Structure 1
Amino acid sequence: MKELIVLAFDSMDGAKTVRDELYDLQKQELLQLDDAAVVVREDDGHVNVKQARSLVGAGALGGAFWGLLIGIIFWMPWLGLAVGAATGALSGKFSDVGVDDDFIDEVADTVEPGHSALFMLAHNVSEERVFEDLAQYDPEVIRTNLPPADEDTLREMFAAEEVAA
């Protein structure tokens, strides 16, 4: 089963630093990243997103997924793609596929201005080893499971947006 994992840091460069560390952990086969994005929340509240293509190639879900999820979390549904529906309806889409409101709320409350986060879609995580190696960076770990059927639904939801992006 895949997991949506957020590693939150109380600095603006923590997520980028750990992104580089994850490359080594993946080479050691301690986890398999399917998709990842680095998020930096500036002091003024603006959010910058960079998909971690160097870790995962083209990625499983792509920029439309990260743009919409991160936009909903930080109340900016226009981030990453043009969306013509209300934020409540959009977050409902994520609830329908296993990304619940509690997860979204926890991430929003944790990643404050001046902080950063690494969003990952991963599987085959050697939890003990990975989190032991990352402990020196003191991330706050927020995670939710994503069953295979939900992952397929997410891919279908974002297929059209990804082509347009």
Structure 2
Amino acid sequence: MSDLIVIAFPSEAQAEETRLKVMSLQKEYLIELGDAVVAVKQPDGHVKLHQIFHPSAVGAASGGFWGLLIGLLFLMPLVGMAIGAGAGALGGALADFGINDRFMKDLSEALPPGGAALFLLIRKMTADKVFADLQGAGGTVLRTSLDHTKETALRDALAGHRATIDVGA
């Protein structure tokens, strides 16, 4: 089962820095992410999502590849590639992986203009090591599906306090 963590930051730079830190922890196999999105509230009040995974782009690339192969069979590779890329992009745009975009935009409406929120969908993590690396990152926990002890440890780590948790549960 995945856990959701939403952390608000006063600026996009802080949210992005924390996302990069979490992604580096993934390379060390301390955390496995399902999604990591930075939502920024623009000065005009609109919310912009900065996602690391774009399903429509992936769909267009794979659709173009398969369309090219099928087009080669019928001696029309360019037409096949164009149709495949269009169909793949449409399919990718309709598929919503990770955290629901509407949920992220609705929750980010509460941010002040210029503020940002980091949305993390976590499949697995070694909580004590991840929280130690996030120590002093700042930010305020808006939402989480973690149990109370881990949520308290996360809040303490973001505030710069040394967090101790029991990860046996």
Smaller-chain TM-score range? 0.5 to 0.7
Percent of residue pairs bearing the same amino acid type:
35
Q: Matches of 2:140 and 2:132 in 1, distance apart?
A: 13
Structure 1 contact 35–61 (Cα < 8 Å) conserved: no
Pick the aligned partner of 1:73 from 97, 107, 118.
Answer: 107
Task: Give the unaligned 5+ runs of structure 2.
Answer: 59-94, 147-169
Bigger RCO of structures 1 and 2 (CA < 8 A, at least 6 apart)? 1
SS of structure 2 residue aligned to 1:130: helix
Aligned length: 106
TM-score in terms of structure 2 length: 0.54
Change beyond 3 A, Cα 1:43–1:128:
farther
1:37, 1:51 within 8 Å by CA — same for their partners in 2? yes
Q: CA deviation at 1:137?
A: 1.6
Q: Which amino acid aligns with 1:71?
A: K
Q: How far, CA to CA, are the matches of 2:97 and 2:49 in structure 1?
A: 12
Paired with 1:40 and 1:130, the residues of 2 have a C-alpha distance of 24
Deviation at 1:69, TM superposition (A): 0.9
Q: Runs of 4 or more off by more than 3 Å in structure 1? A: none
Q: Which amino acid aligns with 2:100?
A: W
Give the aligned CA root-mean-square deviation in angstroms: 2.5
CA separation of 1:133 and 1:74: change in aligned 2, threshold 3 A: closer
Q: Do 2:39 and 2:105's aligned partners in 1 also have CA atoms closer than 8 Å? A: no
**Residues 86-130 of structure 1 deviation map (CA, whole Å, 9 limit, x = unaligned):** xxxxxxxxxxxxxxxxxxxxxx3xx32221111111122222221
In 2, Cα distance between equivalents of 1:16 and 1:66? 19
Equivalent position of 2:15 in the other structure? 15
* Structure with the greater alpha carbon radius of gyration: 2
1:116 corresponds to = 116
- Report what 1:53 is aligned to: 53
Unaligned residue ranges in structure 1 (runs of 5+)? 76-107, 146-165
TM-score (norm 1): 0.55
Shift of residue 61, structure 1, vs aligned partner: 4.5
Match of 2:72 in 1: none
| Cα separation, 2, equivalents of 1:115 and 1:135 | 20
The corresponding residue for 2:40 is 40
Query: What do residues 23-63 of structure 1 show as CA deviations (whole Å, max 9, x unaligned)?
Result: 21001111110112111112332211011239xxx7x9437
Structure 1 residue 5 displacement after superposition: 0.9
